Amino acid sequence: MPEPIVEITHLTHAYGEGPTRRVALDDLSLRVEAGEIFGFLGPNGSGKTTLFRILCTLIPAPPGTVRILGVDPAADRDIIRRQVGVVFQSPSLDKQLTAEENLTHQGHLYGLRGADLRKRVADALHAFGLADRARERVAGFSGGMRRRVEVAKGLLHRPRLLLMDEPSTGLDPAARIDLWLIIRDVSNNDGVTVMVTTHLMEEAERCSRLAVLDRGKLLACDSPAAMKERIGGDVITITTVQPAQVRQALRDKLGVEAAEVDGALRLERERGHEFIPQLIEAVPGLVDSVSVGKPSLEDVFIQLTGQRFEKENQNADAPEVRGRPVRKA
């Protein structure tokens, strides 16, 4: 079996000591294979940011717990840094420089000079649709264009692994789609392995494999499609002004357990559309509306954690937001 691009074995990381000690990553183990677009999905406090910093070699990992491109960062992080590209959540562009100048200075950091650097910069600007804006200051660019420059910077030294922390932060839906077309292109055509942290379900759906994190623990690791298949049927959502009474009636009359999520009732059932008439008959006059749908990644998260997945505030300085508890029957 070929060596994985990233291998993590029983990784634990905590902040603080004694009573204030907080575990950010709890006995995490996983592998990322070459060519994957691998995502980490989780709310605030799930450990995504800590893991990203460890993979970027900004936080030291205990010896033997992490291998990146076959190298233990505890032994030689400089080798890893030369082969890894990074796109941070916070902007890293100099807005008073042009797109071309931003890329040129990035090349200097990796020892690139002369004709080779000029060609790489020109190729990158062309590949990311920025050639006609190369000599304009980044300050005048839209958020989507700036993000393209950020990704071009991360790929300029031709890394084997690209790490992206919340890459769609601040982007509108159209710019987000464009960004993911670029991510797919560098993975398929350039052979770059991409690792992405995200709190957006639509981004997680685009990953070839996904790790679901919550409170530092790895809850699941598989393709998005395989995760949804584990739900075991359709998801039925019931809105009612008397959720407690409906839950009890479903339990007593149909032997069905439901969970309350944001005031609505949720249950899983094979061939859910065929179950609706029985449901309505069991609670006459109490159902305001009922819907049936295929499982989503949010349904997967609810099943794994007993919590609804709360969307994070895009503001990096915002207070931490936790998932909302689901009341079980």
pTM: 0.82
Cα–Cα–Cα angle for 194, 156, 91, nearest 5°?
A: 75
Architecture, CATH, for domain 6-223:
3-Layer(aba) Sandwich (3.40)
CATH fold of 232-294 reads Alpha-Beta Plaits (3.30.70)
What pLDDT shows up at residue 322? 37
From the number of C-beta atoms within 10 Å of its C-beta (0-12, 13-18, 19+), residue 48 rates as buried
Mean confidence (pLDDT) of the chain: 88
Type of residue numbered 85? G
Size of the chain in residues: 329
Per-residue pLDDT of 17-69, as tens digits, reads 888 899 999 999 999 999 999 999 988 889 999 999 999 999 999 999 999 99
List every span in the chain annotated with CATH 3.30.70.260. 232-294
> Residue 270 in contact with residue 234, Cβ under 8 Å?
yes
Tell me which residue has tokens 């020892």: 111
Judged against a pLDDT cut of 80, whether residue 185 lies above it is answered with yes
List every span in the chain annotated with CATH 3.40.50.300. 6-223
Question: Distance between CA 155 and CA 86 in Å, rounded?
Answer: 8
What pLDDT shows up at residue 1? 66
Instruction: Give Cα separations from 153 to 87, 90, 102, 123, 234 (angstroms).
Output: 8, 14, 8, 12, 43
Per-residue pLDDT of 204-255, as tens digits, reads 999 999 999 999 999 999 999 999 888 878 899 999 999 999 999 999 999 9
Alpha helices in 28-110 (DSSP H): 48-55, 77-83, 99-109
Average pLDDT in the 254-281 region? 88
What pLDDT shows up at residue 311? 55
3-state class of 195 per DSSP? Answer: strand
